[in-house]
Homo-oligomer: A and B are copies of this chain.
């Protein structure tokens, strides 16, 4: 049974748009925070990964919006790894308004492992081991 990472996020005024909702692109920054915290929990903070010479640029993302968050909502972000290949992986984050069982947004972000010069590389084995508990396939 794979592990899911939980992360709380408070919606700022700056996150909202004139429809009084979190602007659609801003959920993707929230997802970036969430997967960063998953990696920290796994013992591999992303800053350290970059210091080690690996980078994980985004290759694709997709998001579905079932509802919307408003100013000051406390959001619960539940993240798991829904794909793990040799040189790519994907995080799926479901974003809930606190207390609600149905996600407002569900987003999947696929990242590629590259070296500092942009060359694709395999995901380092220690990282692969560390994130294994979060992998759902």
Contact = CB atoms under 8 A, between A and B. Distances in A.
A60 B62 contact: yes
Contacts of A32: 12-14, 24-25
A44 interface: no
A19 B72 contact: no
Nearest to A27: B25
B18 A70 contact: yes
Interface residues of A, number: 37
A21 B55 CA distance: 12
25 contacts: A12-B33, A13-B23, A14-B23, A14-B25, A14-B32, A16-B17, A16-B18, A17-B17, A18-B19, A18-B21, A19-B55, A19-B57, A23-B29, A24-B28, A24-B109, A25-B26, A25-B28, A25-B29, A28-B28, A36-B72, A45-B72, A47-B72, A57-B65, A59-B64, A60-B65
Q: 6 nearest interchain CB pairs?
A: A25-B28, A62-B62, A16-B18, A47-B72, A18-B20, A24-B58
